[in-house]
Structure 1
C-alpha cells in the first residue's frame, strides 16, 4: 500500500467517524422526538422508523451500478447531501408529512453512504491491509455512535424542542464535514488507462448484467445468505425481541438494559484491535464459524437469565454477558466479512457487490425486529431463544460451507501474500496479481501500522 493510499484511507476513516458521531446524536431519539416532542403520536413515530428502513431497501439495488459506473465519490457526496437535508428537515418539522419526508431523505443518504465508503476503503487498501481498514472503520463507527449518543442524551430535554433541533443541526453539520473531508480524498486510479473503458463497458452492461454476474457467483450468494442470518440473529434483535425479553422475562430495569448495551459498546471499543491481531491471519470462514458458536452461547445465556428465579443479580449478569459476547463476535466479523465481499468481487463490480451485501444487511435489520417484536408480543419467548440459538449454529454451518468454496487467497489472504512475496506465483484466478501489486509487497508490513 502506497503512502498516498494510506493518507486517503485516513481521511476516509476520519470523515466516517464524524458522520457516525452525528448519527449517534439523533438515532436513539427519533421515536421520542416524533411521538412526544412534536406530539405526532406513536403511529407516526413508528412510520418514521419504517420509512427510514424501507427507503434504504429501495435505493440500495440501484446504488451498486452507479458506484461502478461513476465511482464512489459522487455517490458519497449525494448521500452526504441527502443526509444533511434530511437532518435539517427533522429539526424544523412539526407535521407528519414533513417528518416522513425528512426520514426518507436521511434514510436514503445513510443507505448509499455505506457501500460508497466501503468501496472507497477497498480502493485504498490491499488484501493485507483490508482487514485492518475495515476493523478500524467498525471501531470508529461504534466509538462515534457511543460518544454521540452519550452527549446527545445529556443535551436533550423532551420539554424543550429547541434542544432536539440543536441535535439535528449538529448531525447536518457532520454530513457537511464528511463531504468536505471526502472532497480532499484522491482515490488511486485502478486499472490505469483502461479505467474509463471499464466504466463505459459497465454502463453498457447495465444493472441487469451486473446482478446477473453476481447471482451466478455462488460464493457471493452464499455469503449474502450468511450475512442475512448474521444480522438477523444479532443486530436485528437488539431493539426488539432481546430488549423485550430482558425487560419482560429477565425482569431487569430499562436503566440496567442501558448498562448491557454499554457493555456491548465497551467490549467493541476496548478489544477490537486485540481481537484483530488474533484473527486477521486465520481462515476467514473459520473465524465466522466461531462467531456463530459464540453467539449461540450468548443466546443460551440470555435464555438462562429468564430461568433464574430469586437470584436477580445472577440473571442480570447473564444478560450483560449476552451483550458482551455479541460484542466479541462483532469485533471478529468487522475484519472478516466486509473484506471478503471485496475480495470476491471482480474489479469492475466492487460497488455492486458492496451494495448487494448492504442490501442483505438492511433486509435483515428490517425483518429481524419485526419477527422479534411479533414473538415478544405473543409471549413466545422460549421459541424465540431456540430460534436464535438455531440461527447462530446455522451461521457456523454456512461459514464452513462457504470456506469450502473459497480460494486460499480469499479465505486466508495474509498467508497467500507471504507466499507470493517469497517468489511463488499466485493461485490462478485468485486475484492476487491484481489487488496486490508487486511494488507494494515489500513495504506492506510497514504500511499496515499506518492504517
Structure 2
C-alpha cells in the first residue's frame, strides 16, 4: 500500500474518532453544572470547583504530554487518554460525593485535554502542507457538529430529578471514548513529514528551551492566548452574564445564541475555507480580530437599552454568530500554522504547548470575564473590544516572523506545479 493511501485511510479513521468523541462530550458538558449542583445536590460551590478541576487537570497533564508524544508516538497517547477519559465518564455517572465528583473530573479533564495534541499530531503526520489546512478545518467542523448533535440529543434525555438519566449520558460518553480508543488501535500511521519551513531535525532537541527560543512560536502562543481569552473564555461566563444582566436576555435565548454560533460554523466552514486557504494566514487572523471587534460592539449595543428588547436580543444573537464566523476562519489557519512551525521531532511538544495556552485562557477567561460582565458592563465591552483589536495587531506582527511558505502554504502548491521540471534540489531551494 502506498504512503498516500496509508495516510488517507489513517486520516479517515482519525476524523471519525474525533467526531465520535466530540459527540460524547456534547452529551454531558452542557449539563455538568446542573448534575453536580442540583441532581447530586452538592451545591454551586462544588459544581464550580468541578469545572475548575477540569482546567487544572489539563494544566497538570499537558506539560508532559508533548514529550511523550514525540518519544512514543501519538497513537499510544491517544489510546491511553481515551481510556482515561472513559473511566472518568463512568466515575462521574456514579459519583455522589464531593470527593468522587472531583476525582472523576480530574480523570475526565486530563483525558480529554491530552487527546487534543495527540489527534493534532496524528493529523500532521497524515497530511502535507497542501492538505493540512483542509484537514484541520474538517476536524473543527466535525467537532462542532458532534458537540452540537450530542448536546441536542442529551437535552432530550436529561432530567435533573433523575440521576439515572445522567448515568445514561455519562455511559454514552464513555462508550464514545472507548470507540475512539478502538479506532486508534486500528490506525496505521505513515512516517511523519517535515513541516514546511521547519528547522532541521538536529535543532529540535532542546525541548522547552528550543520552543521558547522560537520567536514565531512564542508570538503565536501569545496571540493564541488572546484569541481564546477573548472568545471561548467568555461564551458561557462573562458574555452570558453581561447578556442577562445588562441586555435583559432571557436564559433560553443564551441557548439560541449558542445554537447560532454552532450553525454558522457548520454552514460556513467550507465556504470560508475556500476563501482562507489561498490567503496569508496572518491576514486572516487579523481579519478575525476585526470581525470580533464588530461582535463586541454589537454586544455593547444590546446592553445600552436604547432600542427595543427584540433589537437587543437580535444584536446579542448576532454577536455569537459573528464569533462563529471568526472561529470558522481560525480553524484552517492557527492549528496548521502550529504544525508548520514545529521541527519534525517536536510536533507533539508544539501542539501540547499550544493546547496548554488554550487551557490557560479558558481557565483565566471566565474568572476575569464573569465578574466584569455581571457588574461592570461598559468596562467589560471596552476591554474586549481592545482585546479584539489586539488580535489584529498581534497577527500583523506575527506575519513578519513567518516565512512566505509558513504564512501562505498555497504557495507551495503553486511552486510544485511550476517547478515540476526542476530537480528536487532546486525545488527545495526555491521553497
- Shorter-chain TM-score category? over 0.9
Candidates 169, 172, 175, aligned match of 1:170: 172
Match of 1:276 in 2: 273
Post-superposition Cα deviations, 1:142-190, rounded to whole Å, max 9, x if no partner, equal 0000000011011011111100000000000000000111111100023
Which structure 2 residues correspond to residues 30-45 of structure 1 after superposition, within 5 A?
A: 30-45=32-47
Give the Cα separation in 2 of the matches to 1:56 and 1:255.
30
3-state secondary structure, aligned to 2:38: helix
For residues 252 and 339 of structure 1, do their structure 2 counterparts lie closer, same or farther at Cα, with a shift above 3 Å needed?
Answer: same
TM-aligned CA deviation for residue 376 of structure 1: 3.1
Match of 1:226 in 2: 223
- How high is the TM-score relative to the length of structure 1? 0.90
Match of 1:291 in 2: 288
1:398 has 2:394 as partner: yes
Work out the number of aligned pairs and report it.
Answer: 419
TM-aligned CA deviation for residue 201 of structure 1: 11
Give the Cα separation in 2 of the matches to 1:107 and 1:369.
17
Match of 2:345 in 1: 348
TM-aligned CA deviation for residue 200 of structure 1: 12
- Does the 8 Å CA contact 1:288/1:333 hold for their aligned counterparts? yes
Post-superposition Cα deviations, 1:338-371, rounded to whole Å, max 9, x if no partner, equal 0000000000000000000000000000010000
1:417 has 2:407 as partner: no
3-state secondary structure, aligned to 1:187: coil
Post-superposition Cα deviations, 1:82-114, rounded to whole Å, max 9, x if no partner, equal 101000000111111011000000000001000
Structure 2: gaps of 5 or more residues: 195-199
- How high is the TM-score relative to the length of structure 2? 0.94
- Does the 8 Å CA contact 1:416/1:426 hold for their aligned counterparts? no
- Does the 8 Å CA contact 1:83/1:107 hold for their aligned counterparts? yes
Give the Cα separation in 1 of the matches to 2:89 and 2:179.
14
TM-aligned CA deviation for residue 416 of structure 1: 2.5
For residues 369 and 191 of structure 1, do their structure 2 counterparts lie closer, same or farther at Cα, with a shift above 3 Å needed?
Answer: closer
- Does the 8 Å CA contact 1:69/1:200 hold for their aligned counterparts? no
3-state secondary structure, aligned to 1:54: helix
Post-superposition Cα deviations, 1:7-32, rounded to whole Å, max 9, x if no partner, equal 11011000010000000000011111
TM-aligned CA deviation for residue 417 of structure 1: 2.6
3-state secondary structure, aligned to 1:306: helix
TM-aligned CA deviation for residue 250 of structure 1: 0.8
Runs of at least 4 residues off by over 4 Å: 198-202
Match of 1:73 in 2: 75
Give the Cα separation in 2 of the matches to 1:337 and 1:370.
25
Give the Cα separation in 1 of the matches to 2:266 and 2:120.
20
Candidates 90, 93, 96, aligned match of 1:91: 93
1:160 has 2:156 as partner: no
Post-superposition Cα deviations, 1:32-81, rounded to whole Å, max 9, x if no partner, equal 11111111111111111000111101111111100100000011011101
- Does the 8 Å CA contact 2:264/2:325 hold for their aligned counterparts? yes
Give the Cα separation in 1 of the matches to 2:412 and 2:35.
51
- Does the 8 Å CA contact 1:308/1:314 hold for their aligned counterparts? no
Structure 1: gaps of 5 or more residues: 193-197, 433-451
3-state secondary structure, aligned to 1:309: coil
For residues 280 and 200 of structure 1, do their structure 2 counterparts lie closer, same or farther at Cα, with a shift above 3 Å needed?
Answer: closer
